[in-house]
Structure 1
Amino acid sequence: MSQSTTSQKLSLKQVLIFGGLMVTFSMGIRHGFGLFNLPITMENGWGRETFALTIALQNLIWGAVQPITGALADRYGAFKIMVAGGALYALGLAGMAISTDALNFSLAGGLLIGLAQTATTYSVVYGILGRNVAAEKRVWAMGIAAAAGSFGQFLMIPVEQGLLSSLGANDALLMLALMASLMIPIAFMLREPKAINQHQGNDQTIKQALKEAIRNPSFKLLTLGYFVCGFQVVFIAVHLAPYLKDLSKIYPDVGAPAVATTALALIGLFNIFGTYSAGILGQRFPKRYLLSGIYICRSVAIAAFIWLPLSPVST
């Protein structure tokens, strides 16, 4: 059984503040990529599928590499992984800004940023929380970290739209690269004492853990649920702004950039309260029923958006 030396730990305040900042920057920048869809594809003469493929690659890498990144963080220290992630994030954004062909754009925005997100989001930050926060406060602390990601969406999307409007797509991406580089000094504030990462005994291997998980029906169903969740969220984030722009010829009021920006930012804002509320309700009701209810409500909301007359209010 694995044991950690716990004589020295980061303070609760330190972990929450800087762990929250890490997730805020990483998730916040990510959620605004859809605003760049039309400006970048039109400027370079690409089809929208080029941009969509880049974001799809980014999400595939983010999901597939997270177990590996988590294992590396456990072995070599989360601090080093987050520093590398912050550097890759900045390089990826800068690469997107200077790319003039679809391949380099996809490598920068898909490969580099996908890898960066595995090192600067929940899989690594939750590990730090787990090692430094007392067991009775751990779920609460992870809820705070999850809310920080939603706050990042609420905060960064208007910032990204403002940069787009004032600087243009390429310079806006370069400014975001500078912001992403702030994750490097933030990582230094989450550097754990070496003692906390020392383990004794034999740990379960990744292969053994995956075999155990795959044999569990609940894990399979939960994975499918996350697949649906991710598809819906990313699809809306990437394609909402172009969709509204296309239909602005019929519904002129929805074509302004502020409409898509406000809608995406509000998703982040209400997700803060939704995450907190789900945590409370999950302690009172069976989680499978709660999760089913969330997906049903989301399906109803998306269907209503499609079928109701399009307007800034309905959006």
Structure 2
Amino acid sequence: MTEGNFVDYVKLHLKSGKGGQGSAHMRREKYIEKGGPDGGDGGRGGHVIIKGNKNLWTLYHLKFKRHISAGHGEHGRKQEMSGADGEDQYIDVPLGTVIRDKETEEILHEVINDGQEIIIAKGGLGGRGNTHFKNSVNQTPRYAQPGLEGEEIDVTVELKILADVGLVGFPNAGKSTLLSVITAAKPKIANYEFTTLKPSLGIVEYRDYQTFVMADIPGIIEGAAEGKGLGHRFLRHIERNSTLLFLIPADAPDIVEQYQVLLDELRRYNPELLDKDKLIAISKSDMLDEELKGELDASIKGKFNNVPYLFISSVAQQGLQQLKDKLWQMLNN
């Protein structure tokens, strides 16, 4: 999947089908001139249904489908035959998708299971035929119910990536490089900020053919919680990760301060993010000799509030197995 094909936010106008009209037919046959009512019921209008699909990773297939409508129910017919229900319209979405009301921004539904079906717009009920209105006083009712209108709603559909590990760091911290080295993912890599504009997923192969999923998400900056930079577009993907891997380069002016800024942005966006398991990886450590690494280790020890940290280098492939071991331990603790 190319970066341009990754879509994590779309707006949709949904309309369910109208119910079919009941029939007011009277039975007329060759030897029965004045038969009673035999009008059938109208069919139900089609629903608009959201369905979870584990094989999807993006909302790209909805990018050009702004209006989605279900089928109308058929009208009732003679001989008490009911009309067919309108065709339901299914919308497949990736797991981790959130459906919001466009006007109020209220969360209506969350899709987290494969095959999960949610009726987002119910089809209108079909009208009842005239057979339902026959009684001792009125033996030949010549009226039937009309079908009810369907529902119409504007929604926003946003994807929050489901991954085991989410990479958190400032732009150009080395997140894409790490993902490209320990997975088969091929994110865009360059020596400038905001190389990654959209999330990338990679499967990390561990011992004994076991795997876990890692997500490289656009770099965070100060003010992201208020929408600055890539803002909420970045932060909403962090919510679904069970473990957060903070990546801070060894040449950062102040490693501890950078970690605190990242924590503060997560706290301001959603305080619950701080309850997730956290691990700090100090990247680009191949630039340090043993003496400098020892001095840096001594200067930061005990300043991360018991959050474990380790030194890695994606380019020199140093410390990567220890990183995978630690992440696997945290994911299966």
Q: Same fold (TM over 0.5)?
A: no
Higher share in helix: 1
- Which of the pair has more CA radius of gyration? 2
More strand by share: 2
Q: TM-score, normalised by structure 2?
A: 0.23
Larger RCO of the pair (alpha carbons < 8 Å, separation 6+):
1
What TM-score do the two structures reach when normalised by structure 1?
A: 0.24
